[in-house]
Amino acid sequence: MDDSIRNIDELPSIERVKYVAQGLALLDAIIMPEWEYRYFSFNCNWDGAGKEMMGSMRDGSGGEYFLHFTSAGVAGKVIFGSPLSDVPGCLNTMPEAFQQFKVEPAFSADNASLFFWRGVKQP
Does residue 6 lie in a domain region?
no
- Which pLDDT score, from 0 to 100, does residue 89 have? 87
Residue 51 lies in a domain: yes
Q: Is residue 15 domain-resident?
A: yes
Q: Taking 80 as the threshold, does the pLDDT of residue 48 lie above it?
A: yes
Give a yes or no: residue 72 inside a domain: yes
Q: 107 lies in which domain range?
A: 11-119
Does 1 score more than 50 pLDDT?
A: no
For 60-117, give the DSSP string.
SSS-EEEEEEETTEEEEEEESSSPPS-HHHHHHTS-GGGHHHHH-GGG--TT-SEEEE
Domain count of the fold of the chain: 1
Across the range 90-110, mean pLDDT stands at 87
Residue-wise pLDDT for 71-94, tens only, equals: 999 999 999 888 888 888 888 889
